[in-house]
Copies of this chain bind each other. A is one copy, B any other.
Amino acid sequence: MMTPAPSSSGAVAKAPLRVALVEDQRDTRESWSRLISSFPDFTCVCACASGEEAVRVIPGAKPDVILMDIFLPRMSGIECTFRLKVLLPHTPIVMLTAHDEDEMVFLALESGANGYLLKRTKPADLRASLLDVLSGGAPMTSEIARRVIESFRKKGPRRDESVSLTAREEEAVVLLTKGYSNKEIADHLNLSIETVRSHLKHVYEKLHVRSRAEAVAHYMSKRME
């Protein structure tokens, strides 16, 4: 599992594998760069200090794989990943992060990252992960794999007690999802604000939420599967 197949095509040993690095902190950048080049079959062809620089120079460097710090000033690693994926759709990008900060993981994966590692990854593991991603794998920590897998469980919650809203409640929610305030909803439905509030209170109860934003999120995510 995740043990990268020992490079199925044996003819790769010729040229070293070209790695590009994006990391804003100089010390870290240089030490990673040195580490990568210290692997016998790897070379760090490019070490960028910002997302802007990365988008500018990495396409010309034609790396085989890109290591990307997730937290960059201005253009985030997420945004940078997305832009690089447009320019180099077939070049795998592995995200690096200090902590596996929750939401970032999924944003990164959605932006096209092929792997997700912690900065404290041991050199041998880093090398294995680079080989893994180059052979079409998706290196990630156990913890992140678990969370990724867990996100699927939530995605398939059929057998839910399909909540049935009444006509008025549904109308109110639909207007909620348009961002209307209680007063605006009241006007649109020719109701008193208090009536709208009453309907929404019932909606909150039925959907098990406590705010309009949560209700909107809940309702919209159910309307799309």
On A, residues with C-beta under 8 Å from B are 1-5, 71-72, 74, 76, 78-79, 82, 102-104, 106-107, 109-115, 117, 121, 125, 128-129, 132, 135-143, 145-146, 148-149, 152-153, 155-156, 159, 164, 166-167, 170-171, 174-181, 188, 209-218, 220-221, 224
Contact = CB atoms under 8 A, between A and B. Distances in A.
A152 B78 contact: no
Given A2-B2, A166-B74, A220-B220, A140 B136 contact: no
Contacts of A71: 167
Contacts of A156: 107, 110-111
B174 A107 contact: yes
Contacts of A224: 220, 224
A218 B179 contact: yes
A199 to B, nearest CB: 13
Nearest to A74: B166
